[in-house]
């Protein structure tokens, strides 16, 4: 009887084995391709300006505007003011990444702290925290960022702070739900019964368990934060010119849409590629971690 | 539910008893309880949102006195104006005064043009509402059939294309998409206008011509999002729903199972998403109206922030955030109405 079952079960098990190796290879690619692209983008934007081989992204030669792609000395051409497009892309990208990662880091730390404390303490602390966060979630992210950035005054740091305020409630919610799920787990109860202090339970037992989830969500949030940063600079409410930003480049490109399309397509492409890499990587990590 | 005597002991009015009986019946129904509880929960959120909005008013740079008085105004003039506008009162009193005015529909006047803000809203809101309604309609009209096709054969060609296109669509920032659409349809093909707006009353055809690209810009990411969620939920229902097995064994055709059984059970998460998305969409109208030069509420917001026209900015922010809160409430109610498990109060079982 046992042999029969083994024989009957063998073929599907074998074919499933082949399928798994293929799909696991595909899944590795899903993780590695966006990962490598993202690392390449980050390296290009962070290391390249530092090497000193790029022309200045501002104060270009006013007598050399609208150079097409492939001009000697300006691989991606120049803009309406004679600034090098490649250099602007790199410096703009550095700013986008700084703002994106910075805003999400602030939002993640403060937000998850609020969420964890709320869920761990429960009771009135929890209800006040959640109600206030609900209220902030009612404001569209871009609108909130526009107003706060305008109030704080236009600078990279202030734009970062304004965008972090958008990601904070979402992180708090996520941390809250995850902590609530953990709170009744035996190891937390055991730690409590052993007389461990609250902050120690949070740091040693709660945080390590919710960090993977938070980090995956953070990758997806960085892409949103970068889009909001670009939107703000496109609207002229972000980091002010002459600092090169992708949003500012897109705005300039739109003004020249009939005469010089590269000026629009270059920053659009850069933004799209960065956001796509972040989203694909976040997605791959999420499915990997949720299936384990 | 005790039966109420036909003649009310209290009432002189003959229909009072019937009304009371109906009220009691409604109050006892689980649906009414869900709706009532959600509505009550919304009230403090609405108040809190209005309070945060009012705080923003005081946060924004540039006071009313700066905007209304000439540069060389004396301290006395400034003081007199602040007194006249009630700015010297305590903060909470100012908030309550403002709230009272807003409830009466009085949003003050634009500091720039002196035009009443409610007039500005009256001109701008219809444009934005048309944009949002068209975007919703477009995205759902395409998402439902595509999701059904994908769920028909999970892992098939249609399904895989869906997944790839969905990821690309979700990663396409809205203004990149909008500008690419302008580049293709307005600059290269020259079939649609790149910018501008024609009121609905003037010419329906030309109005739609101007609205196609903006609403498609908003609709595309939503379409990708809805397709993805809806497909996943339909597949889920097909795999786990016992009623699917029952229907199959009765000999019901696969399309009929998909559309009549799985789809109906799978639609709720997507509906919730539609409600939640409204906030994102409202943020999107700001960008999209700017790209396409539509005279909507988002454009007014950007101009208002640029010119520090506090009254206009505050009114718009208030309306946008209240819309989000109310949309979330309506979504919950709609789901309670549509879902028989909630409607008949068996949600806890």
A131 and B48 within 8 Å at the Cβ level: the answer is: yes
- Specify the higher pLDDT residue, B138 or B63: B138
Task: Find the closest chain B residue to A222 by CA distance.
Answer: B171
Q: Is residue B325 within 8 Å of residue B332, measured between CB atoms? A: no
B167 and A283 within 8 Å at the Cβ level: the answer is: yes
Neighbours of B86 (CB within 10 A): 11
Bridge-partner residues for A74, per DSSP? A71
How far is the alpha carbon of B330 from chain A, nearest alpha carbon, in Å? 14
Residues 6+ apart with CB under 8 A from A195: none
Query: Alpha-carbon distance A142 to B172, whole Å?
Result: 16
pLDDT per position as a tens digit, A80-136: 777 788 888 888 899 999 999 999 999 999 999 998 888 888 788 888 888 888 788
Instruction: Assign A70 to helix, strand or coil.
Output: coil
Which chain B residues are Cβ-neighbours of A231 within 8 angstroms? 173, 175, 286-287
Q: Is residue B174 within 8 Å of residue B288, measured between CB atoms? A: yes
Task: Find the closest chain B residue to A267 by CA distance.
Answer: B176
Residue B235 pLDDT exceeds 50: yes
pLDDT per position as a tens digit, B154-167: 777 777 787 788 87
A69 phi, psi to nearest 5 deg: -65, 140
Residue A9 pLDDT exceeds 60: no
- Helix pair angle (B263-292, A207-234), 10° resolution: 40
B171 and A147 within 8 Å at the Cβ level: the answer is: no
Residue B88 pLDDT exceeds 70: no
Which chain A residues are Cβ-neighbours of B221 within 8 angstroms? none
A84 phi, psi to nearest 5 deg: -70, 125
pTM of the complete model: 0.81
Task: Find the closest chain A residue to B313 by CA distance.
Answer: A147
Q: Please give the average per-residue pLDDT across B183-209, as a whole number.
A: 80
Q: Which residue has the tokens 């700084």?
A: A98
Picking from B288, B290, B285, B270, the residue whose alpha carbon sits closest to that of residue B320 is: B285
A78 phi, psi to nearest 5 deg: -125, 165
Neighbours of A287 (CB within 10 A): 14
Residue B6 pLDDT exceeds 50: no
Residue A291 pLDDT exceeds 60: no
Residue B223 pLDDT exceeds 80: yes
ipTM above 0.90, yes or no: no
**What's the pLDDT at A12?**
43
Q: CA torsion, points B3, B6, B9, B11, in degrees to nearest 10?
A: 120
Give which of B63, B163, B175 to mutate to test A binding, by max A Cβ within 10 Å. Answer: B175
B283 and A137 within 8 Å at the Cβ level: the answer is: no
Which chain B residues are Cβ-neighbours of A276 within 8 angstroms? 167-168, 171
């Amino acid at each position: 009887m046992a042999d029969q079952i083994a024989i009957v079960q063998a073929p599907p098990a074998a074919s499933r084995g082949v399928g798994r190796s293929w799909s696991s290879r595909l899944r590795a690619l899903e993780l590695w391709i966006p990962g490598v692209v993202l690392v390449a983008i980050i390296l290009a934007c962070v290391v390249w300006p530092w090497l000193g081989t790029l022309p200045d992204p501002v104060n270009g030669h006013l007598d050399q505007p609208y150079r097409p792609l492939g001009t000697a000395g300006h691989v991606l051409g120049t803009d309406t003011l004679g600034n090098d497009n490649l250099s602007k892309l790199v410096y703009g990208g550095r700013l986008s990444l700084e703002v994106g990662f910075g805003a999400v880091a602030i939002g993640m730390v403060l937000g998850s702290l609020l969420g964890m404390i709320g869920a761990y303490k429960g009771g009135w602390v929890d209800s006040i925290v959640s109600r206030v966060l609900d209220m902030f979630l009612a404001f569209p992210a871009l609108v909130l960022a526009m107003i706060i950035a305008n109030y704080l005054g236009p600078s990279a740091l202030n734009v970062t702070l304004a965008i972090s305020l958008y990601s904070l409630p979402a992180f708090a919610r996520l941390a809250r739900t995850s902590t609530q799920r953990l709170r009744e787990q035996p190891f937390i109860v055991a730690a409590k019964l052993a007389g461990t202090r609250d902050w120690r339970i949070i740091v040693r037992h709660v945080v390590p368990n919710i960090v993977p989830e938070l980090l995956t969500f953070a990758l997806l949030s960085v892409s949103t934060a970068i889009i909001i940063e670009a939107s703000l600079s496109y609207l002229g409410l972000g980091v002010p010119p002459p600092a090169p930003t992708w949003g500012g480049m897109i705005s300039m490109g739109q003004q020249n849409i009939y005469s010089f399309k590269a000026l629009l397509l270059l920053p659009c492409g850069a933004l799209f590629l960065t956001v796509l890499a972040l989203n694909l990587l976040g997605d791959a990590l999420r499915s990997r971690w949720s299936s384990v | 539910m005790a039966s109420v005597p036909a003649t009310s002991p209290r009432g002189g009015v003959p229909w009072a008893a019937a009304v009371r009986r109906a009220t009691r019946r409604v109050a006892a129904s689980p649906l009414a309880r869900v709706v009532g509880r959600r509505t009550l929960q919304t009230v403090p959120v609405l108040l809190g949102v209005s309070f945060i909005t009012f705080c923003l008013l005081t946060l924004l740079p540039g006071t009313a006195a700066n905007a209304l008085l000439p540069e060389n105004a004396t301290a006395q003039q400034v003081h007199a104006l602040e007194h006249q506008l009630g700015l010297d009162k305590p903060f909470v009193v100012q908030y309550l005064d403002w709230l009272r005015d807003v409830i009466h529909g009085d949003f003050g006047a634009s500091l720039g043009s002196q035009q009443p803000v409610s007039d500005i809203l009256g001109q701008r809101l219809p444009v934005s509402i048309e944009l949002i309604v068209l975007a919703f309609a477009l995205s759902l009209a395409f998402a439902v059939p595509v999701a059904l096709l994908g769920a028909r054969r999970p892992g098939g060609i249609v399904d895989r294309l869906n997944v790839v296109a969905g990821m690309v669509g979700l990663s396409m920032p809205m203004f990149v998409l909008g500008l690419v659409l302008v580049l293709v349809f307005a600059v290269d093909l020259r079939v649609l206008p790149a910018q501008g707006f024609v009121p609905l009353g003037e010419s329906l055809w030309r109005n739609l011509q101007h609205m196609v690209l903006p609403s498609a810009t908003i609709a595309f990411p939503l379409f990708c999002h809805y397709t993805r969620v809806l497909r996943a939920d339909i597949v889920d229902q097909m795999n786990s729903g016992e009623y699917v097995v029952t229907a199959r064994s009765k000999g019901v055709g696969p399309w009929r199972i998909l559309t009549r059984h799985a789809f109906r059970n799978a639609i709720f998460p997507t509906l919730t998403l539609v409600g939640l998305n409204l906030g994102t969409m409202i943020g999107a109208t700001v960008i999209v109206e700017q790209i396409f030069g539509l005279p909507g509420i988002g454009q007014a917001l950007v101009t208002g922030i640029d010119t520090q026209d506090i009254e206009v900015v505050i009114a718009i922010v208030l309306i946008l955030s209240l819309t989000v809160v109310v949309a979330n409430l309506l979504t919950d109610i709609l789901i309670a109405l549509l879902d028989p498990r909630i409607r008949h109060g068996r949600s806890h079982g």
